[in-house]
Structure 1
Amino acid sequence: MSVLNNFLGSLARTILTPMSRARLPQTKGTIPLEGLSAPVEILRDRWGIPHIYADTPPDAFFAQGFVHAQDRLWQMELNRRTACGKLSEIFGEIALDTDRTARTFGFDRLGRADWEILSDESRALALAYTAGVNAFLTHPKTKLPVEFRLLGLKPEPWIAEDSMAFTRVMVWQLSHAWQGEIIRAEIAEKVGIEHAAELEIHYPEGNPLTLPKGIEFNTLDPDGTLRKIPGPFLDRGKGSNAWAVSPARSVTGNAVLCNDMHLAISLPGLWYQVHIHAADELHVTGVSIPGIPTVLVGHNDHIAWGITLAYTDAEDLFIEQIDFSNNRYLFEETWQAAEVLEEEIQVKGRDKSHIEKVFITQHGPIISDVVGYPAQHVAVQSMALRSFTTLDGWIGLNRARGWDDFVNACRLIEAPQLNIAYADVENNIGYWVTGKVPVRAKGDGSVPVPGWTGQYEWIGEVPFQEMPHTLNPERGYFVTCNHKIVPDDYPHLLGSNWMNGYRARRLSELIESVDKLELDDHQKFHMDVKSIPGLELVGRLKDIVDPDPDVQLALKWLREWDGFLTPESVGGMFYQIVRYTLVRNILEPGLGPELSLRYMGAGFHPLLMNANEFYGQDTVVLFRLLDTPDSWWIQAAGGRHTVIIESLKQAVSWLREKLGDDPSTWTWGRVHQVNFEHPLGLQKPLDQVFNRGPFPIGGDTDTPCQTAMLPNDPYNNKAWSPTFRQIVDMGDLTRSVTVHPPGQSGQVASSHYDDLVDPWLKGQYFPMLWTREQVDAESDDKLVLKPRE
């Protein structure tokens, strides 16, 4: 079968690569277009990044829409179909559950509502962007990417609401605290509240708080004077690292901001880098998302910013009492009329459309069916499902000239909940946590609550000025890695589902280990793969003695391991297999296989919700249980010594079966690999045309170079990785560097389809070209878009 697949793959490449090459966009010469007020220059450098020079911001955003469509039109089409619940029209039955989920949450509906409240300036820029996309779509010389040809698909014109709808998908994917509420309820039902409490999240002592207990926040008054006010801090999400150092900690004597965003690896990649210069009105560079106008992360000529997820809890589940026959639900002893929608979903291969009935209470849509939890009628209330002004906030960041502008932009980012790191050319560093967080009348948002009583309602929001923030911390740096950044005495409930803090602890160690940091040091920090929990687990096994040769083999490699999860590490491989086996052996006697995987972080939907907020907590709980031999969970697994010995044996047996008889070849990179998968590459033999990889890679969930795995596929890097890295020198922006895999273009025949994979794997960067002189020196192609006469 593999021989046949290889032959068919070679044949497919022979046919599709030339076909794609003939469809590559024009990047030189002149194109007359309607919708511009003046000519726009687009220079593409040797990494395929467009540098846009326009006279006005609307013309610059027009050009951004045009280049997005040139390089990523197929991705944009998938993005809007995902948002609007229309994937089944082209993929058939396999995509129906994704469409049902999108229609239930209402990303398209919410996007249209957001459009209505967008500021006039943002609306004008979004319309200019939309005009640029459609200018490419309707140009007579445009040839659609090969994916459209394969599926016999012609894209509809782009509308501004498409951009808003996909923004909603991104926000929702970064907001998922409600999943843990279901899991907590299922665990309590399975083993009882007392035993469930042993699995609750507790932040590890010794791992850092970004702002230590008792500290005061600094803020900047409009007149520029500093004053101290009491305040709080926060965090939540899948992953990402950000840190900034003050001039006192930098060899250059300048503030430096670093960021690497940990999201799902894909092909094309999520990010599209772009440099926009609109005369004296706007100068910004960084990464954008095809289909969404503006630069989302990067720097302008005054400030730089980066983002990590702030694991604040802004979602709750309400169990509703519903009378479906009369389309109503009970609230405070009165039956209320529900909003009921019938969503028609076209499904390729079906004679009739699927009708999805969406039932919406005052708390939100009923999601029980689409998340596989039909036992109760559960509504989700989320800040991510309210109308918001997030695009106004991002455009504000693009234009910000200092801390005050930055704070005002953060105020407009009402969802998702992010920690936005900051540095400026005046050498200030700081951050602010964005996203609205509810004040609850009762309860802490940890489990589903009765929706009919009125006792658990949201009665307000944490004031923006009291959200976690800092400016110029005394120690001269900060790190934000999705860890706990508020002290226990913080006055507002922000949640409790922080990531475990191991990445933050390691990065703090690295920063503290060097008196003054070179830019090269920050690059090394991005690639660091030392596992603090790995060494902690080895320490907990120091008293284990057993005559079994497999146990002795595992202990030998573990005890000789240096703690670094390089692709070549054998000890690191043993740690990963032993840790995973131990966790499952301890959990499954009480929870069973499926619920154990949920507790270990598996999400409810592979595309829209592939992980939940318990992700990464199983290691912390494992250590706590191993340190408590009398725990019910340890006893149910056979006792501490027994479960450890059996897990060591099983780990060696698994390794021998999968990797052969020579332990010296059992390296982490043989099973821990990253694969860049294209949606069409899921179908053989198209995988050999569109996919790239797999490639051995180091790290894991808890290393600064985070290469995370999903519990149901525990060794491959299929969860998320650093999809973008940037290091910005605020004293000399021309020294700033970046990298984002796999490449700028989504077209398989382009030289920029996958040219950034190798440098990304090696920890290499390329310059964020800033001055016109830099751009001219590195650019070969120049395209001029000019107004049609």
Structure 2
Amino acid sequence: MSATDAFLGSILRAALTWLGRKRLPQVDGQIRLPGLSDPIEILRDRWGVPHVYARSADDLFFAQGFVHAQDRLWQMELNRRTASGRLSELFGPLALDTDRAVRTFGFRRLGEADWQAMDGSFRAVFEAYTRGVNAFLTAPTSKMPIEFTLLGYKPEPWQPLDSVAFSRVMIWQLSHAWYGEIVRAQVHQAVGAAAAAELEIHYPTGSPIILPKGIEFNRLAEDGRLQAARGPFLQRGLGSNSWVLSGARTTTGTPFLCNDMHLALSLPSLWYEVHLCGGGLDVTGVSLPGVPLIMVGHNAHIAWGMTLAYTDCEDLFLEEFDPQDEQRYRAPGGWLEAEVIPDPIKVKGQADPHIEEVVITRHGPIISDVVGAPERRLAVQSMALRPSPAIRGWYQLNQAHDWDEFVEAMRLIEAPQLNVVYGDTRHNIGYWVTGKVPVRAKGDGMTPAPGWSGEYEWIGEVPFEEMPHALNPGRGWLVTTNERIVPDDYPHFLGNVWMNGFRGRRLSEIIQAADRLGPDDFCRMQMDVTCIPGQEFVDRLKGLRSPDPEVRAALDLLRAWDGKLTTETVGGTVYEVARYMLVRNLLEPGLGPDLALHVMGQGFHPLLMSANEFYGHDTVAMLRMLGDEDSWWVGQAGGRQAVLERSLREAVGWLRAHLGPDSAAWQWGRIHRAPFPHAMGLQKPLDRVFNRGPLPVGGDADTPCSTAMMPNDPYDNKAWAPGFRQIIDLGDLSRSQVLHVPGQSGQLGSRHYDDLAPLWSEGRLHPMLWTREQVEREIEGRLRLEPA
């Protein structure tokens, strides 16, 4: 960027920030609003967190809608437009492919089905929330966020369905994906069964290979709506950590529950912290702007946290369509009519709407055609694309008093598939895996199946009572980090692609090594950057000798490394760059560069998932190959000595070219940085106004402090990071701590726009204020909402 561009960007940022300050919401005094039964108090603490005190549940959720709109109205607008496939109305053709994909999956249609299935008492929650949002929109004192001004747009009134539809987006984003089915097929086609099995990506017994001659899985075409979808409108992550310890393992003698969720970083944060007190509820934690309730946190009796469970609840089916009638597809009993929905999408700057033809079979929506066989198309069947009472489950979770009520809430969360850890003030700890898991008539869903045969159908579900769970385990602790859930003798198939387990192994090591642990220890665990695969990689290099000075320089730095990926480490930087070069050098001779990236975890498109479920397994495969003299992949790469020397040489060359000749400057934090992108910062010069960062961060995807990179952008932290952390003290809830990043407010000009980012970088949390007395001591604003 030129000095002139930087100067102009700074001037624009200053001007828009000043204008943003003029539009900040009222947080002190009194506002009279229609739709209230009684007065409501909203006390904001110095971290910008509202503590809402109401007399009825109706007023309480009204107030949650109001404070969400005060601080996150622009984000809420994006959320509902994302869920409904209406981003193109604001962003024009840039967002059309995203809208096309969203219309295909039908989040709004799913929301409508969920809304129709709700009883009146639960609908009242969404209706009260909606009245609160609209009260802000129509209040004389309210000013719209600056993003609306820049786009020349005024938001429409909020509807309950906007909230329900966005909840369906989140269910989809947190559900297990189907990309591995295509990756397995592509690898098998490229290198054969033996080499694929060495990667542990193989056709499991009973999986079908039923394609006509001349059609290869590696020619499956992604539909244009998926291939080109882009932008920070939908983001996913793959990991998270949680652990819960009984009082026998803590310094206080009472349970602790800890959780850090790993999703793509953005501005504003995905999460919004709020404390809701009234109408029989007293619950605090993080919520989703646009949706009532608390998603993760604690009430007066229980606490909960969650990680992705990685159970396999999605399958791809190859559907055969009638060449004479494009709306008919083959089923076991003959031809069936597909449901065809012509869905108009308005596009800014275009006179006529784009008509998206959504095609739905008995398995689910068609997401792709097959190159070379126009009558064949791929449909996705997913538990996340069925009507579900999941949001009702969260409502019951907010209200739960004990384990039994917690379990009944878990029963309703039919999707997404989550590990939910539990602790209560009666000293119990536990865990349950949510989400329905299909029972398949044949096969295990690891590869696309022929939809016309009827052999691979879903014929039932794993009984809820038989899903993995535990209450008060004898060892006194539980850890979940997306690793394998059950042993081989578990009676049901849940899937076979988990995260690689290095994070869980490290956390378990810390717990097992200590007699008792306390809150300071838990903070250190959340920030732990010990890299187990990095240590194992260095161990594999014992005995490696080379006459090449570049290789010797790399070996010296690696052997002096302590195995921790701090922002200052040099040896850790050499490991990360060398690991990346080595994996590419091992995989590309057999797979080519594009498929190699997919095996390394690259997703098929940024809309649905920027990474696929094989992320991290390339490191496991690499370590195994280095210990196997007969590895086909090592042989293809020229042999162990040659591929290691080449990779280390390339790593040193890359570091010298990008960080300079002095190895002391090769610090991990210089190339591993966390950005916070804003939707308005997609284009210059607004990126300098709305975006924040990048901030140097330690760790990588395999450390407990999980800061993941993308295979096609292998060093910056652009995949996911622990954007939310909590430590719940179930012996004294007022001593609990929490943090999400970068700040509470989405309003440019607010001091809470990015004020939590320094705490996050330092691994610190802020108090999770619980008692009224605590809140009064840290008060920043006192607002009273009065019935008009």
TM-score category, normalised to shorter length: over 0.9
- Deviation at residue 14 of structure 1 after TM alignment: 2.9
Which residue of the partner structure matches residue 736 of structure 1?
Answer: 736
Q: Determine whether 1:248 maps to 2:248.
A: yes
Which residue of the partner structure matches residue 293 of structure 1?
Answer: 292
User: Residues 201 and 496 of structure 1 are in contact (CA less than 8 Å); yes or no, is this contact kept in structure 2?
Assistant: no
Which residue of the partner structure matches residue 267 of structure 1?
Answer: 267
- Deviation at residue 311 of structure 1 after TM alignment: 0.6
Q: For residue 348 of structure 1, give the secondary structure of its aligned residue in structure 2.
A: coil
Which residue of the partner structure matches residue 674 of structure 1?
Answer: 674
User: Residues 499 and 617 of structure 2 are in contact (CA less than 8 Å); yes or no, is this contact kept in structure 1?
Assistant: yes
User: Residues 368 and 374 of structure 1 are in contact (CA less than 8 Å); yes or no, is this contact kept in structure 2?
Assistant: no
Deviations 1:161-184 (A, max 9, x none): 111111111111122331110111
User: Residues 237 and 264 of structure 2 are in contact (CA less than 8 Å); yes or no, is this contact kept in structure 1?
Assistant: no
The 5 A counterparts of 1:419-498 are: 419-498=419-498
Give the Cα–Cα distance (whole angstroms) in 2 for the partners of residues 434 and 176 of structure 1. 12
- Deviation at residue 201 of structure 1 after TM alignment: 5.2
User: Residues 727 and 736 of structure 1 are in contact (CA less than 8 Å); yes or no, is this contact kept in structure 2?
Assistant: yes
Q: For residue 121 of structure 2, give the secondary structure of its aligned residue in structure 1.
A: helix
Give the Cα–Cα distance (whole angstroms) in 2 for the partners of residues 120 and 308 of structure 1. 31
Task: Provide closer, same or farther for how the CA distance between residues 168 and 178 of structure 1 changes in structure 2, counting only shifts above 3 A.
Answer: same
Deviations 1:456-486 (A, max 9, x none): 0000000000000001111111100000120
Give the Cα–Cα distance (whole angstroms) in 2 for the partners of residues 60 and 372 of structure 1. 57
Deviations 1:134-156 (A, max 9, x none): 11111122211000000111111
Deviations 1:89-138 (A, max 9, x none): 11122211111110111111111111111243321111111111111111
- Deviation at residue 197 of structure 1 after TM alignment: 2.0
RMSD value, Cα: 1.6
Q: For residue 327 of structure 1, give the secondary structure of its aligned residue in structure 2.
A: strand
Deviations 1:661-705 (A, max 9, x none): 001110111100011111111211112111111111000000000
Give the Cα–Cα distance (whole angstroms) in 2 for the partners of residues 48 and 267 of structure 1. 16
The 5 A counterparts of 1:96-175 are: 96-175=96-175
Which residue of the partner structure matches residue 74 of structure 1?
Answer: 74
User: Residues 237 and 310 of structure 1 are in contact (CA less than 8 Å); yes or no, is this contact kept in structure 2?
Assistant: no
For residue 559 of structure 1, what is the amino acid of its counterpart? R
Structure 1 segments (4+ residues) deviating >6 Å:
370-375
Q: Determine whether 1:20 maps to 2:20.
A: yes
For residue 305 of structure 2, what is the amino acid of its counterpart? G
Give the Cα–Cα distance (whole angstroms) in 2 for the partners of residues 287 and 91 of structure 1. 29
Give the Cα–Cα distance (whole angstroms) in 2 for the partners of residues 257 and 374 of structure 1. 53
User: Residues 285 and 298 of structure 1 are in contact (CA less than 8 Å); yes or no, is this contact kept in structure 2?
Assistant: yes
Q: For residue 619 of structure 1, give the secondary structure of its aligned residue in structure 2.
A: helix
User: Residues 187 and 201 of structure 2 are in contact (CA less than 8 Å); yes or no, is this contact kept in structure 1?
Assistant: no
Moved more, 378-387 or 674-683: 674-683
Which residue of the partner structure matches residue 356 of structure 1?
Answer: 356
For residue 290 of structure 2, what is the amino acid of its counterpart? G
The 5 A counterparts of 1:304-383 are: 304-323=303-322, 325-368=325-368, 376-383=376-383
Q: Determine whether 1:188 maps to 2:154.
A: no
Give the Cα–Cα distance (whole angstroms) in 2 for the partners of residues 37 and 180 of structure 1. 52
For residue 465 of structure 1, what is the amino acid of its counterpart? E
Q: Determine whether 1:508 maps to 2:498.
A: no
Deviations 1:346-368 (A, max 9, x none): 22233332211111100000101
- Deviation at residue 376 of structure 1 after TM alignment: 4.6
User: Residues 5 and 684 of structure 1 are in contact (CA less than 8 Å); yes or no, is this contact kept in structure 2?
Assistant: no
Give the Cα–Cα distance (whole angstroms) in 2 for the partners of residues 43 and 650 of structure 1. 56
Q: Determine whether 1:178 maps to 2:178.
A: yes
User: Residues 370 and 377 of structure 2 are in contact (CA less than 8 Å); yes or no, is this contact kept in structure 1?
Assistant: no
Q: Provide structure 1 residue ranges, at least 5 long, that are not aligned to the other structure.
A: 203-235
- Deviation at residue 326 of structure 1 after TM alignment: 4.2
- Deviation at residue 86 of structure 1 after TM alignment: 1.1
Q: For residue 775 of structure 2, give the secondary structure of its aligned residue in structure 1.
A: helix
Which residue of the partner structure matches residue 602 of structure 1?
Answer: 602
Give the Cα–Cα distance (whole angstroms) in 1 for the partners of residues 756 and 621 of structure 2. 38
Task: Provide closer, same or farther for how the CA distance between residues 514 and 119 of structure 1 changes in structure 2, counting only shifts above 3 A.
Answer: farther
Deviations 1:696-739 (A, max 9, x none): 10000000000011111111000111111111111100100111
Which residue of the partner structure matches residue 697 of structure 2?
Answer: 697
Task: Provide closer, same or farther for how the CA distance between residues 369 and 41 of structure 1 changes in structure 2, counting only shifts above 3 A.
Answer: farther
Aligned residues with identical type, % of pairs: 63
Moved more, 536-545 or 382-391: 536-545
Give the Cα–Cα distance (whole angstroms) in 2 for the partners of residues 715 and 407 of structure 1. 41
Moved more, 661-670 or 372-381: 372-381
User: Residues 176 and 609 of structure 1 are in contact (CA less than 8 Å); yes or no, is this contact kept in structure 2?
Assistant: no
Task: Provide closer, same or farther for how the CA distance between residues 419 and 370 of structure 1 changes in structure 2, counting only shifts above 3 A.
Answer: farther
Moved more, 327-336 or 372-381: 372-381
User: Residues 176 and 417 of structure 2 are in contact (CA less than 8 Å); yes or no, is this contact kept in structure 1?
Assistant: no
Which residue of the partner structure matches residue 43 of structure 1?
Answer: 43
Give the Cα–Cα distance (whole angstroms) in 2 for the partners of residues 474 and 617 of structure 1. 31
Q: For residue 465 of structure 2, give the secondary structure of its aligned residue in structure 1.
A: helix
- Deviation at residue 371 of structure 1 after TM alignment: 13
For residue 285 of structure 1, what is the amino acid of its counterpart? T
Give the Cα–Cα distance (whole angstroms) in 1 for the partners of residues 556 and 374 of structure 2. 48
Q: For residue 604 of structure 1, give the secondary structure of its aligned residue in structure 2.
A: strand
Give the Cα–Cα distance (whole angstroms) in 2 for the partners of residues 723 and 738 of structure 1. 11
- Deviation at residue 516 of structure 1 after TM alignment: 1.3
Q: For residue 121 of structure 1, give the secondary structure of its aligned residue in structure 2.
A: helix
For residue 239 of structure 2, what is the amino acid of its counterpart? G
Moved more, 585-594 or 170-179: 170-179
Task: Provide closer, same or farther for how the CA distance between residues 493 and 531 of structure 1 changes in structure 2, counting only shifts above 3 A.
Answer: same
Moved more, 348-357 or 390-399: 348-357
Which residue of the partner structure matches residue 529 of structure 1?
Answer: 529
For residue 12 of structure 1, what is the amino acid of its counterpart? L
Deviations 1:538-561 (A, max 9, x none): 111112111100000011111110
Moved more, 538-547 or 625-634: 625-634
Task: Provide closer, same or farther for how the CA distance between residues 176 and 354 of structure 1 changes in structure 2, counting only shifts above 3 A.
Answer: farther
Task: Provide closer, same or farther for how the CA distance between residues 51 and 766 of structure 1 changes in structure 2, counting only shifts above 3 A.
Answer: same
Moved more, 254-263 or 139-148: 139-148
Give the Cα–Cα distance (whole angstroms) in 1 for the partners of residues 536 and 601 of structure 2. 21
Which residue of the partner structure matches residue 282 of structure 1?
Answer: 281
- Deviation at residue 333 of structure 1 after TM alignment: 4.6
Give the Cα–Cα distance (whole angstroms) in 1 for the partners of residues 198 and 525 of structure 2. 35
User: Residues 97 and 370 of structure 1 are in contact (CA less than 8 Å); yes or no, is this contact kept in structure 2?
Assistant: no
For residue 398 of structure 2, what is the amino acid of its counterpart? N
For residue 304 of structure 1, what is the amino acid of its counterpart? A
Which residue of the partner structure matches residue 198 of structure 2?
Answer: 198
Q: For residue 343 of structure 2, give the secondary structure of its aligned residue in structure 1.
A: strand
- Deviation at residue 262 of structure 1 after TM alignment: 0.5
Task: Provide closer, same or farther for how the CA distance between residues 541 and 426 of structure 1 changes in structure 2, counting only shifts above 3 A.
Answer: same
Give the Cα–Cα distance (whole angstroms) in 1 for the partners of residues 326 and 178 of structure 2. 28
For residue 122 of structure 1, what is the amino acid of its counterpart? F
User: Residues 96 and 347 of structure 2 are in contact (CA less than 8 Å); yes or no, is this contact kept in structure 1?
Assistant: yes
Give the Cα–Cα distance (whole angstroms) in 2 for the partners of residues 550 and 282 of structure 1. 64
Give the Cα–Cα distance (whole angstroms) in 2 for the partners of residues 397 and 290 of structure 1. 18
User: Residues 669 and 697 of structure 2 are in contact (CA less than 8 Å); yes or no, is this contact kept in structure 1?
Assistant: yes
Which residue of the partner structure matches residue 220 of structure 1?
Answer: none
Moved more, 175-184 or 730-739: 175-184
The 5 A counterparts of 1:219-230 are: none
Count of residue pairs the alignment pairs up = 754
The 5 A counterparts of 1:708-719 are: 708-719=708-719
User: Residues 48 and 752 of structure 2 are in contact (CA less than 8 Å); yes or no, is this contact kept in structure 1?
Assistant: yes
Give the Cα–Cα distance (whole angstroms) in 1 for the partners of residues 332 and 485 of structure 2. 37
Q: For residue 130 of structure 2, give the secondary structure of its aligned residue in structure 1.
A: helix
Q: For residue 32 of structure 2, give the secondary structure of its aligned residue in structure 1.
A: strand
Which residue of the partner structure matches residue 220 of structure 2?
Answer: none
Which residue of the partner structure matches residue 33 of structure 2?
Answer: 33
Deviations 1:420-448 (A, max 9, x none): 00000001001100000000000011000
Deviations 1:315-335 (A, max 9, x none): 000000012634111001500
For residue 305 of structure 1, what is the amino acid of its counterpart? W
Task: Provide closer, same or farther for how the CA distance between residues 758 and 373 of structure 1 changes in structure 2, counting only shifts above 3 A.
Answer: farther
Q: TM-score normalized by structure 2?
A: 0.94
Give the Cα–Cα distance (whole angstroms) in 2 for the partners of residues 193 and 361 of structure 1. 32
